[in-house]
């Protein structure tokens, strides 16, 4: 079994799409570990703010199969891939880590480089997996977050969506 951490974000009907994503992930992979939810500004484009979180699950499926399932969940929630990389999203689910795998694995680059580039990925990952180590850097996610937040303060607001957190965790 591998522990998989995924980032989940939405800036279009945010609550509805996060609820749908978490329900679909639970149905596909079972029990989830869920971070707090954060509201953050859109990165790279002018758009409504996002709700972001990280979820973890254990699976014996391969990375390619998990990736295909995540893409299907996005598609079921109206995700369009013809609008450019930096645009509004009904739902965006990305594999951050897949066990301790590194490099190009079944079409994925692991671990995902966004972990150390964006606060909206690193902070919720540090919240739920703070003592786990980045498979390439060797530092814990908590230590990476401490350095990141000291160097690049980012506006983030915790969002108390009890309906989402309480129904899935």
Q: Domains (ranges, CATH) in the chain?
A: 2-161 (3.30.70.560)
Q: Within 10 A of 97 (CB to CB), how many other CB atoms are there?
A: 23
Residue 114's nearest CA partner among 43, 51, 31 is: 43
Neighbouring residues of 20: CB distance < 8 A, sequence distance ≥ 6: 73, 76, 77, 91
Which of the two residues, 81 and 8, has the higher pLDDT score?
Answer: 8
* Structural contact between residues 71 and 94, judged by C-beta atoms closer than 8 angstroms: no
Tell me the pLDDT band of 89, cut-offs 50, 70 and 90. Answer: confident
Rounded average pLDDT over 18-39? 96
Q: What is the pLDDT of residues 98-119, one digit of tens each?
A: 999 999 999 899 999 999 999 9
This prediction has a pTM of 0.90
Q: What's 139's DSSP letter?
A: -
Q: What is the pLDDT of residues 36-84, one digit of tens each?
A: 999 999 888 788 999 999 999 999 999 999 999 999 999 887 655 556 6
Q: At what angle do helices 63-76 and 14-29 cross, to 10 degrees?
A: 140
Tell me the pLDDT band of 24, cut-offs 50, 70 and 90. Answer: very high
């Amino acid at each position: 079994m591998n522990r998989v951490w995924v980032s989940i974000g939405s800036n279009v009907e945010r609550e509805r799409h996060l609820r749908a994503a978490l329900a679909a992930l639970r149905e596909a992979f079972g029990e989830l570990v869920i971070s707090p939810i954060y509201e953050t500004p859109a990165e790279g484009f002018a758009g409504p703010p996002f709700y972001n979180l990280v979820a973890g699950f254990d699976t014996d499926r391969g990375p390619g199969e998990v990736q295909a399932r995540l893409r299907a969940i996005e598609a079921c929630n109206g995700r369009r891939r013809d609008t450019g990389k930096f645009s509004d999203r009904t739902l965006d689910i990305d594999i951050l880590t897949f066990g301790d795998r590194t490099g190009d694995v079944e079409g994925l680059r692991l671990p995902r480089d966004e972990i150390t580039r964006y606060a909206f990925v690193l902070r919720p990952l540090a919240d739920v997996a703070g003592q786990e180590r980045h498979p390439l850097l060797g530092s814990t996610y908590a230590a990476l977050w401490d350095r990141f937040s000291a160097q690049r303060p980012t506006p983030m607001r915790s969002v108390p969506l009890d309906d989402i957190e309480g129904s899935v965790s």
